[in-house]
Structure 1
């Protein structure tokens, strides 16, 4: 199975300046505006707080657009429900009365799978953030390098 496409800002291979600019322009058009990133009304107060926290933390990255409101909402719901399961497990233990894992454990496992997938979508893992930071650092170095600028035809 092929890997999912990544943003041009995360590119690691060689591309011409025209290819990079075309991809950047296309991504900007598809991302749309980022002026309506507000938590949907159907979220609980706790879920809205989680939504706003994630949004605030990712705001400076510039990767979010209005279309991401649904991914952010689902992430907030998932985190809230994982926390609810954890609270139930802490109160009642891991095992049910039949000696098998409680339903909260099973539900938590399901939400954890969703959580990790959503973290990948939003670049929430430390590895994703490190990769983004490294790519941003490399692109700033390339912009400042006069030799690369000359070789790239940016005289």
Structure 2
């Protein structure tokens, strides 16, 4: 019954071609790691893409922070690098994806209970 409700899974393990290469690699890594759990379906494609994009954007923001620092010069004062807020925003999206996909230890434990 659960498999019938989950739907088809013929597309979920292959990232769409129009995604940026790094997002594609992240998508396929997430899907590959979850393949053995047999919980994914085509309905999860957008969720996996969202999670992969969140990782990609977090890494971009973190790279900016590493290069420019937490504080940047703007005129005659130091301000917080906007990349810090960007990273924080994408961390929230990432964690939501993790919870939904069972990527955290706690969410995996909840999956095992069912």
Instruction: Give the TM-score normalised by structure 1.
Output: 0.66
Gaps of 5+ in 2: none
Quick one: which of 111, 114, 122 aligns to 2:90?
111
Gaps of 5+ in 1: 1-24, 137-155
Map 1:44-55; keep pairs closer than 5 Å. 44-55=20-31
Q: How many residues align?
A: 110
1:101 and 2:77 aligned: no
1:130 and 2:109 aligned: yes
Q: Which has the larger radius of gyration?
A: 1
Instruction: Give the TM-score normalised by structure 2.
Output: 0.88
> How far apart are the structure 2 equivalents of 1:43 and 1:78?
13
Q: How big is the shift at 1:96?
A: 1.9
Map 1:1-155; keep pairs closer than 5 Å. 25=1, 27-37=2-12, 38-97=14-73, 98-133=77-112, 135=113
Let me know the Cα RMSD of the aligned residues. 1.4
Query: Which of the pair is proportionally richer in strand?
Result: 2
